[in-house]
Amino acid sequence: MKRGPADPREAARRAALNALRRTRRKAERSGVDLSDWEGEFLGSVETRIQTYGRAFGDPEKGAPGQALSALQQRKLKEIAAKATGEVAGPNRRSRFRRGGKDRPAPAQDDGD
């Protein structure tokens, strides 16, 4: 018997729950202590996804069919990076910043 097409909302819900659980497992296995806020964030987002199918109420904060908002996805990525020992998020700086010292000064015109 053929199965019909998968429900994209259900797939997004499962993917988000798996990502949350995977992040928590990474932190436990690596011995990284998550802050109280990070632990509460993971728990509350997981509860909201299980209850409502998504972790945010305002549809403008996330893409249709997604279970996590853009900011929640970014925070989850930062927590996962912390669990693996990588530097992520606002503390990471790009080597090529706008207006940095690496750019040569513009040529000056003498006005001849």
CA proximity to 61, closest of 74, 50, 44: 74
* Domain ranges, ordered by start, for the chain: 8-87
* Distance between CA atoms of residues 96 and 19, nearest Å: 31
67 has a pLDDT exceeding 60:
yes
Does residue 94 have a pLDDT over 80?
no
Kindly state the percentage of the chain with pLDDT values over 90: 36
Across the chain, mean pLDDT equals 81
Instruction: Return the pLDDT at 96.
Output: 54
pLDDT 10s digits, 43-56: 999 999 999 888 88
CA distance 35 to 25: 15
Any residues with CB less than 8 A from the CB of 33 and at least 6 apart, and which? Answer: none
Tokens standing for 76? 């989850």
Region of 58 (left: φ > 0; alpha: ψ -120 to 50; beta: rest) is beta
pTM of the model: 0.68
Q: State whether residue 6 is helix, strand or coil.
A: coil
User: By the 8 A CB rule, do 12 and 66 touch?
Assistant: yes
